[in-house]
Chains A and B, each alone.
Chain A
C-alpha cells in the first residue's frame, strides 16, 4: 500500500477521541468503511472498521504507545489496497505490503519503527516491456497487452485492469519503463501502466470456477501418495505445537510444482521467516533449476508485530496470488497460521466490545474463513486463460484440540485435511501426519492424472497401502493386550510390512538432501518394493517358512534406505531382485 502520494492535499478531517491498544476512535472523520486513514502526529496507518454517529473506530497497523486524544486523523479516501505489478516476486513484505528490506534502509535500524511507509513496488525501477498486442487492436478488461521478464523464472504479464472499460489501442510501445509510466493508451482515454491497485478485501473477478483435476505435486510421499491436493484446491494442516506444521508448510513452499508461491507468515516466529529468507535464494526449483526465491513472494507479520496488520496480511497474500492467477499461472498460497489470524480478529473484536461467539471469537469467524478459502480454486480467467490458486492453511488449535472453533470452521470448508499428531512427532516420525485421521476428497478426481502420468495401477497400489495400515491399526489394539508374539504368523508379518510402510515410505526426512523431495514415480516404486517384499514373504509363509526367517532376510532392512537413495531406480531394481532371491531361497 502506498501512502497517498500528496498527503498535503488531503483534509485534516478528524480528531482522536480515545486510544486503547490498536483500537482508536475519532470524531468528525468523514470516512467510509474500510478506508485507510493516517492516525496521529506520526501518521500511523489504520483502517476504518466501525462507524457510529459521529464516532469512527479505526484499527491501527502500528504500535500506538504515546498517541493521545486530540491528535489529528487524516483520511485517504481509499480502501486498504495492494500495489500489483512486476517486482513482487523475490520480495518480502509486512502485513500491509511494505517491503521489509526497504523499511530497514529507511529506518536505518534493525528494529521496526513507526510511521514509516514505503511503496509495495519500487516506483523507480525500470522494466523491459514487450507488447504482445499491436496498435489498433481491441482489448478488453483482463487482457494481456505485454510481457516483462520479472525474475529468472517468471514472465510477468501486463494486463488491462479488470475495472477498465477497454477498447481500441491507440498507442503502445516497447522499451524500458517504470511501473508508473504509461505503456499503452486506449481510445477511451484510459491509460495503462504496469501497475494496478486492488482492494485486498475484494476478490479479483474471474469468468468461471472449474473442477480441478491436476494434483499439486509436493514431492512429499504421504501427501502425493495418500492425501493429494489439487491445483486450485484447499487444505488445512492442524496440529499442536511442535508437530511440524511449519516444516510441512516450508516443504510445500519449496517443492510444490506451482508456478508461483505466496508464503504468508501470519503471527509466527521471526526466526522462521529469517530461515525462509536465507534458505530460499540458495535452493533450486526442481522444475526450472532457478533459485526458488524467484518464484516466491513472502509476507511476514511475526507474532510481535502489530496485531491489526496480522489481520490484514492474509488478505494481502491472497490478492497477490489472484493477480498472478489472472496471468494464467498456478499459484500456491501457504498461510501459517490461520489461527493467529482468527485470534487477531478476536482481539480487535473484543476491543470493540462486540458480542462474542464461541470461545470469544467473533460471530463472523466462520464467514471470514469461508470467504477466504473460497478465493482459492481453478479459474477460467476473464482474459480466457486458466489459472489456479491453491490455499494451504496451517491451524494451531489450543492444546491440540481439534474441536475448537477455528479448526472446526476450517474443516467445514477445505477438502484436504492433514492431521498432525503429537505422538508421531514425539517419536520423531516426520512428517507427523496421521494416516488414519487425515483425508483428501480430491483422490477420485485426481486418479486419472496419476494413472496417466505415474502408473496405471496407482490407485490400486495406494489402496493396498491404506488397507495394510488400517489392519495394523486394529492389530495394534490386540498387541497392546497380549504382545506381538501371541499373534498368528500371518498377522505378525502384516505388522512387519506395516512397519516398513510407516518407517520407509511415510516417513521422510525434510533435512536430507535427497529425501527432502520425492518424485511421484519414486513414491510409486518405493511402495512397489515394499509390496514385493509383502507378496514374496506371504508366499514363503504359505510354503511353511517361519515368520522370523522371512522377516530377517538380509535385504529387508535396505527398504529403509530407499528414501535417501539418489539412483533410486537402480537401487530399487536391485533391492527387489535381492528380496525375491533371498526369500525364495528359504523354501
Chain B
C-alpha cells in the first residue's frame, strides 16, 4: 500500500492528488490529516498520474501535506447475522458501545444487478394493518413502495406503524414449521435526519422490542453530506446478505431520499459536471435505480428484500425531479396529503395519487380474498367521483345535486373519516378492511357498483345499510 503526500487541490468535498502508479476507479482511500485524524474517501475519477477523491467526512482539516493511502479495493461492508440489534453510523461503524463486529463476509457495497431471469415475481401479500395500504395499494414481498411526503407530515409514524405491524397472514396460520427460514428483519437507513427524528425511531424500536431484529444505520443532519451516498448502499448490502444468504424477509426503510439526492447534487457541483434538471446530476435516475432495484425476490432463495423509501417532496410538488425519478423506478407510491393531515386523518394517505403496481398479482382468491380487486376498484372510482363533486358543491350547494350525487359525496366523506382514518396504533386485518369497504359501498345504490362482479354484490352487499341510507 503506497502513501502519497501529493495533494494538489482541495475543493468542497473533493481532493485531487498526484499518483505514480495506477489507482482503480471507485477504490477506497484513507487520508491522514496533520492532526492525526483519518478520513475516508472514494476515487471518483482515475487517470494516469492524477486522481480525484470524494471524502465522506468532509475535507475539513486536510492540507497539502496530508497523506493519502489507497487501499486497493472498493468499499466493502462487513456482514454477519450478529448485526441484528446493532446501531451503526453512516459509514458502518458501531456507535452503540457494543462489541466489535466480527464479519462472516465482506461484500462490495455497490452491489450487482439481479439478473431479471433469476428473479421471482413478487406476489406474496404483506398485511400492514393499514386499510388505505392493504385495501387500496397492497404491498407485496419484494416490492419497492416509497412514501411521498412533505415536510411536517407524519411519514415517520406511518413507516413505524408498517414496520411494527407488517405480517404475512398465511404463515401465521401455518404455525412454526418453517419458522427458521422466514424470520423478519428491519433495516433502517437514516440519511440526514435530525437527532430528534432519530430518537423517535430509536425509542419506538426499543419500546416494541423491534431493535433485536433490526440493523440501524444513522447518518444525521449534522453528519457529512457525502457520507449519505454510502449509507443506503451499506444498508442494502446488509439487507441482501440477510435476505439471500440467511433467508430473512427484510424490510428496508430509507429516510430521507431527498437528503440523499441533495448530497448527489453537492458532489456533482463540486466536480463541475453539466447539471440536469434543477441542478441535479444527469445520472440521478441511474443512481437512484441502483438503490431501488436492490429489492425483490430470487428464485430458489428463501428471503426477500422489501423497500419503503421515504422522501419529502420539496414544495409538495410531485413533478420535482426527486419524486418524479423515484416514481418511474419504484413499483408505485403512497402519497401523504396535507389537507387530510390538517383534518386530523391518521394516517393522512391520499389514495387517489397513490398506487401499488404489484397489487393485482398479490391479491384475490387464495392470497387475500376474491372480492379484493373489485372492491378496491369500486372504492377508487366512487371516491374519485365524490371528490369531483366536492368542487361542484362549493359553487352550487348540496341541494342542487341529485340524490345519486349526494350519496357519492357522503361516501367520500365516510371513506376518509372511517376507512382511511384509523390511528397509528390500530392494526386492521385484511378481512376487517374489506368488510369496512363493503359497509361503505353499501351506501351506494347497487346499480352504481359497476366495477364489481354481480355474484360478489349478491354475497356482500348489505341491504340494511342501503335502506338506512334511504331512510335518512
Chain A residues with a Cβ under 8 A of chain B: 16-21, 25, 63-71, 92, 100-101, 103-104, 107, 110-114, 240-242, 265, 267, 269-271, 273-275, 277-278, 300, 302-305, 307, 340, 343, 346-347, 350, 353, 356, 359-360, 396, 398-401, 422, 425-429, 479-486, 503, 511, 557, 560-561
> Do A485 and B400 touch (CB < 8 A)?
yes
Interface residues of B in 163-185 (CB under 8 A from A): none
Beta-carbon nearest neighbor of B350 in chain A? A426
Q: Which 7 pairs from chain A and chain B are nearest by CB?
A: A399-B319, A18-B47, A303-B289, A427-B384, A110-B118, A241-B327, A304-B293
Type the 1/0 row for B271-298, where 1 means its CB is closer than 8 Å to any CB of A: 0011111000011011001101110101
Q: A360-B277, A480-B392 are in contact. List 15 more A-B contacts (CB 8 A).
A: A19-B45, A66-B24, A68-B25, A269-B331, A271-B122, A271-B296, A274-B121, A277-B116, A303-B285, A303-B292, A303-B293, A304-B286, A304-B292, A347-B286, A561-B454
* A398: contacting residue among B142, B275, B296, B324, CB under 8 A: B324
Residues of B within 8 A of A69 (CB): 22-23, 46-48
Contact residues in B for A270 (Cβ distance below 8 Å) = 113-114, 116, 119, 293, 296
Bound Cα distance from A443 to B387, whole angstroms: 36
Chain B 297-327: CB-based contact to A (< 8 A → 1; otherwise 0): 0110100000000000000001111001101
Shortest beta-carbon distance, A250 to chain B, in Å?
12
Q: Which of B27, B142, B381 touches A427 (beta carbons < 8 Å)?
A: B381
B376 vs chain A, min Cβ distance (A): 8
Pairwise interchain contact B48-A340, C-beta atoms closer than 8 A: no
Asked whether B429 is an interface residue with its Cβ less than 8 Å from the other chain, the reply is no
Q: Which residues of the partner chain B approach A400 to less than 8 Å between Cβ atoms?
A: 319
A241–B294 CA distance with the chains assembled, in angstroms: 20
Does B447 interact with chain A (Cβ within 8 Å)?
yes
B283 touching A271, Cβ below 8 Å: no
For the complex, would chain B's binding face be called helix, strand, loop or mixed by DSSP majority?
A: mixed
Judge if B343 is at the interface, Cβ distance under 8 Å: no
How many residue pairs between the two chains, A and B, have CB atoms under 8 Å in the bound complex? 222
Closest CB of chain A to B271's CB: distance in Å? 9
In the complex, the answer to whether B25 meets A65 with C-beta atoms within 8 Å is: yes
Could you tell me if A347 and B282 are in contact, using CB atoms closer than 8 angstroms? yes
> What's the tally of chain B residues with a CB closer than 8 Å to chain A?
86
Tell me, rounded to whole Å, the shortest Cβ–Cβ distance linking A212 to chain B: 32
Q: List 24 A-B contacts (CB under 8 A).
A: A19-B25, A64-B26, A66-B27, A68-B23, A69-B23, A110-B114, A110-B299, A112-B113, A269-B331, A270-B296, A303-B293, A304-B294, A307-B283, A353-B274, A359-B276, A396-B328, A400-B319, A426-B352, A426-B353, A426-B384, A482-B396, A484-B405, A511-B360, A561-B454
Interface string of B12-56 (1 = CB under 8 A from A): 000000000111111100000000000000001111100000000
Query: Of all chain B residues, which has the CB nearest A103?
Result: B115
Q: Does B120 contact A (CB under 8 A)?
A: yes
Instruction: Give Cα distance in the complex from A275 to B331, angstroms.
Output: 13
Q: Is B22 touching A241 in the complex (CB atoms < 8 A)? A: no
In the bound complex, CA of A425 to CA of B356 (Å): 12
- How distant is B108 from chain A, measured CB to nearest CB, in Å? 7
Q: Is A71's CB under 8 angstroms from B22's CB?
A: yes
* Cα(A399)–Cα(B325), bound, Å: 9
- Could you tell me the distance between the alpha carbons of A103 and B113 in the complex, rounded to whole angstroms? 12
A295 to B190, CA, bound (A): 47
B110 at the interface (CB under 8 A from A): yes
With a cutoff of 8 Å between Cβ atoms, the chain A residues found around residue B301 in the complex are: 110
Contact yes or no, A20 B24, CB < 8 A: no
Q: Say yes or no: is B450 at the interface (Cβ < 8 Å to chain A).
A: yes
The 0/1 profile, CB within 8 Å of A marked 1, for residues 141-175 of chain B is 01100000000000000000000000000000000
